[in-house]
Each structure stands twice: as C-alpha cells, then as structure tokens.
Amino acid sequence: MDPEFKTAGAPQDGTAEPGALVQRKRGAAFLFRKLYEQRYLQVMALLGLIWMMIFNYFPMFGIVIAFKDFDIISTIQDAPWAGLEHFKAFLEDDNFWNIVKNTLGISLLKLIIGFPLPILFALFLNEVRSIRFKKSIQTISYLPHFLSWVILGGILATWLSDTGLVNELLLGLGWIDKPITYLAEPDYFWGIVIASDIWKELGWSAIIYLAAMAGVSPDLYEASTIDGAGRFQKMWYVTLPSIKGTISILFILAVSGILNSNFDQILVLRNSLNESASSVIDVYVYQVGIQQGRFSYSTAVGLLKAVVALILLLLANGVTKRLNNTSLF
C-alpha cells in the first residue's frame, strides 16, 4: 500500500497512537482548565471532603474495639481480643427487649405519623394563593427547627408540669379532674416525644417537598383544569405523582434511620420516672459507653445497630425500586 494512504497516526512500533495521545492531552488540559475556573468551588468541596475523611472515615478504624477488651489506659493494638463477646452480652442483657421495644415503637410511630404529615402540609401550603399568608405560615412552622432540644425541652417541661399550660387548659375545659404530671408518667412519654418531634420538624421537613412541587410543569395543571379537575384532584393526580421520586428517596432514608430515636430529644425529656418508656438504644449506648466507660461494649452495640440500618436501607431501596423504579442506587 502506498504510504500516502496509510492511516495517519498508525502505530509503527507498538506504542500508543499519536492521535490518541493528543486526545488525552487535550482532555487533561480541559480538565485542569475547568478545575481552575471552578477553583473556589473546588476549595469549598475539598474542605468538606477533608472534614468527612477526618470525622467519618479515619475513625472507622476504631470499630475494631468492638471485638476487643479496650480500656482508656491501653492502646487499641494492645487490647486483647474478645471476639463476639460484647455482641452476645448485649443480646443477653436483661434490658435488651425493653430497649428494642422502645426504640422500634417510637421510631415506627414517627415514621407512620411523622413522615406523611410534611407531605400533606406541603401539599396544602402549595395551594395557598396569598404570598404574604404563605410566607407567614412557613416562618411560623420553620421556627421551632432552629431551637435546640435543650430549649424546647425546658419549654415542654414547663407546659407539661402540674401547673403548666396544658393542665390549666384541660382543667378549664373540664376534660380532667386533677393535674397530671405528664413527664412522670411512662404511658404518656411516647406521645409527647412524637408530638414534640412533629411540632419541631414539620415545617422544615416540608421544604424539600415544596421545592419539588415548584418544579412541576404548569402545563400539567392547565391540562387538568381543562379536563375539569378540582384542587384536590390536581393534588392527587398531578402533584403527588410528580414528586413521588422525592418521596421515595426520603422514605428510604427514613427507613434506614428507624433505629435512631433522636438522642437529644429523649435525653432531655427522660427522667427516672419514665425510664421504662424512654430507654432506647442511643441513650443506652451513652449510659454504658460514656458514663460507665465500657467503650468496647458500646461500640459493639453501635456497630450492630449500623449493620441493621444498612440492611433496612438495602431492603427499602429494593422495594421502592421495584414499585416505582426510584432508588438511591
């Protein structure tokens, strides 16, 4: 074949084609130029990555103490191996079933009651036409989120005391005959926890749904209006299907965190009188690990909880993917 008709850049000695090499150089140059143009954003992202590595990934080496008899005096490497003894001790603990019952009971009720409410709140708030009224409702509903549970716990303790707002109101309405010390009664604890959590997080949790609703095409609403759909029909047949992906993702995350009972909230509201209803895994780990210094034992409990959370995440992800083809991965 005439050399003039040979393909330009054809390999002569088994090395890479010059054309491919040029393309790689151009790609690298484009990447570096893009990184330079976004240097401020990249620095911000790098700081977040460094923070995540320091506080999330590097400490994962410490998980090994769940399988050792570690104390604060010796190093992790010098601590003797204990195998699965700490896991067995937790499963055989006298308080195990009560802790699991409280954790699952509070978390499941929060999921069943607390998960749909922000969706409903966002749906109705999205239908409000008065911008001033809508912003006022949003501000009022968001405000409790920015208060810590220490502050809200003090407010609730005052409201629920013998001479508090709740007792005064119920006595005035004639619904009760004598004051009730609600935080001293285990039977009321779950209801107080769930109601106060909804009060604090309802408005904040609705933000992402409102953002998703803002992205729904107005053409869909116009078409449904032409078809004679009312407001509730638009909410059911247009708005909800349009945000089902967002709902699915948040549902997966909520299911994976079902063993998290909001440590701050329960630690503030619990006391010795409602201990039978307020002992959850997070509080138990705090009491055993920090207060009693059983670091290996508490690490084992935390690791077991993380494994269960991972399994729940995979199950929820698989179910939502099968039902509506939406998943995290």
Q: What angle do CA 25, 27, 31 make, to 5 degrees?
A: 115
Q: Are residues 177 and 235 in the same domain?
A: yes
User: For residue 250, is it within any domain?
Assistant: yes
Find out whether 183 and 271 touch, Cβ atoms under 8 Å: yes
Q: Are residues 18 and 143 in the same domain?
A: no
Residue 174 belongs to domain with CATH number: 1.10.3720.10
Residue that terminates a domain, selected from 17, 33, 67: 67
> Average pLDDT, whole number, for the chain?
87
Q: Which tens digits make up the pLDDT trace of 138-178?
A: 889 989 999 999 999 999 999 999 888 999 999 998 888 89
Q: Which tens digits make up the pLDDT trace of 21-35?
A: 777 777 788 888 888
Contacts 24+ apart (CB under 8 A), 115-119: 115/250, 115/251, 115/254, 117/198, 117/202, 118/201, 118/202, 118/205, 118/206, 118/209, 119/206, 119/209, 119/247
Q: Are residues 50 and 99 in the same domain?
A: no
Place of tokens 């077991």: 304
Q: Which tens digits make up the pLDDT trace of 171-221?
A: 998 888 899 999 999 999 999 999 999 999 999 999 999 999 988 888 888
User: For residue 78, is it within any domain?
Assistant: no
User: For residue 133, is it within any domain?
Assistant: yes
Q: Are residues 62 and 93 in the same domain?
A: no
pLDDT score of 17? 54
User: For residue 310, is it within any domain?
Assistant: yes
Q: Are residues 178 and 283 in the same domain?
A: yes
266, burial (CB in 10 Å: exposed 0-12, middle 13-18, buried 19+)? buried
Q: Are residues 242 and 96 in the same domain?
A: yes
Domain extent, residue 141, equals 85-324
pLDDT score of 148? 92
pLDDT score of 72? 80
Q: Are residues 96 and 53 in the same domain?
A: no
Place of tokens 């204990």: 82
- Give the total number of structural domains in the chain: 2
Q: Are residues 42 and 97 in the same domain?
A: no
Q: Are residues 61 and 90 in the same domain?
A: no
Which two structure tokens, joined as six digits, stand for 97? 């079933």
Contacts 24+ apart (CB under 8 A), 91-97: 95/279, 95/284
User: For residue 205, is it within any domain?
Assistant: yes
Q: Are residues 172 and 320 in the same domain?
A: yes
User: For residue 181, is it within any domain?
Assistant: yes
User: For residue 329, is it within any domain?
Assistant: no
> Residue 128 pLDDT > 80, yes or no?
yes
Q: Are residues 161 and 204 in the same domain?
A: yes
Q: Are residues 221 and 307 in the same domain?
A: yes
Q: Which tens digits make up the pLDDT trace of 215-238?
A: 888 888 889 888 888 888 889 999
